[in-house]
Structure 1
Amino acid sequence: MIRSFDVFFSLLGLVLGLPVLLILWIIGLIDTGSPIFQQQRVGRNQKPFTLVKFRTMKVDTASVASHLASADAITPFGHFLRRTKLDELPQLWNVLKGEMSLVGPRPCLFNQQELISERDSLGVYAARPGITGLAQVNGIDMSAPKLLAETDSKMLESLTISSYFKYIFMTIAGKGAGDRVSGTKE
């Protein structure tokens, strides 16, 4: 049932959001010269997939978890995208393709071994990663691997259609901070 909602809402979001996506793409092109950011992430059953987002950091920024990146790497437009969570919009494509869900554990990088191990021990990788979830709306990011894995597991064990929509609406309403970057006030 949740997969049906994912397909419907991601397709609806991509179609209705196309003008916004195009405007953000153009501004991003001006801002960094490369508005789309793609990165290999850990997916369902620990299979790799390419996550797509709007670029918020300079092109030459090291590929590390957000909490390990320098605040100086974020562009002025990137600050806006991160604060409004608009950088996440292209992930609707990942959701439509079945690589992600609207709600699930945020996908991590393959070099985040502690988080991968914690999630694996709790069975979190049986689910599709998501754009948002319980950890995100509570401001828990990847800088606390054990707490994040436990929160992801708790969310998956109790995920209902009602909580699915609750996490989405809380995210849209601005609850949570997303992945923090060291030295920022996001």
Structure 2
Amino acid sequence: MVKSLRILLTLALAALLLPACTRKQGPTPSDNPMGSRNAGLGGDIIPSMDTTGWTPDLEVRGTSSMGDGYYTDSTGKQWRMVEGLLPSVYFGFDSASIAGSERGKLQQAADQLMQNPGNKILIEGHCDWYGTAEYNLALGDRRALSASDYLVTLGVSPSRIETLSKGSLEATSGLSKSDSSQDRRADLIILE
């Protein structure tokens, strides 16, 4: 009898709660006349690229009022970018592991930094066009951090290393996986 009552109460409770789980909620009204994916949360979470409200000392990271070829590091210091001095480190598809054949390139970067103690290095992680933009930004970050970690094991101070993920922003879309291998890389850029 008690067992039957327990089963009956469980079924009654399920019958009451189940319809509540299947009800669809209508869209939340928005104050934004243009609409927003983030409507109902107090406006856009991700602001537009309108920079009119910025104070003069704020800049997008990695850019400068000095023009192309300069980089603003995490401390706010301006550096001149020297590209092409060091070779890029290439990665396998969907990987952030540094192949044995690529480690010599990072040794070359470490040697360059040891010979020039006033310089830093910027490691830009890149991806091919496969995957979502969010996934590729994360993979580009893992590639840059993997190269950074390897440089630290070679004796480079972490304070001399900057990392930046470009994800698939500069990738050539539509290529096969083998043809897009040039996009799976970490660019090593000297900052002086």
Q: Which has the larger radius of gyration?
A: 2
Q: Same fold (TM over 0.5)?
A: no
TM class by shorter chain equals under 0.3
Give the TM-score, by structure 2 length.
Answer: 0.26
Structure with a larger share of its residues in strand: 2
Give the TM-score, by structure 1 length.
Answer: 0.27
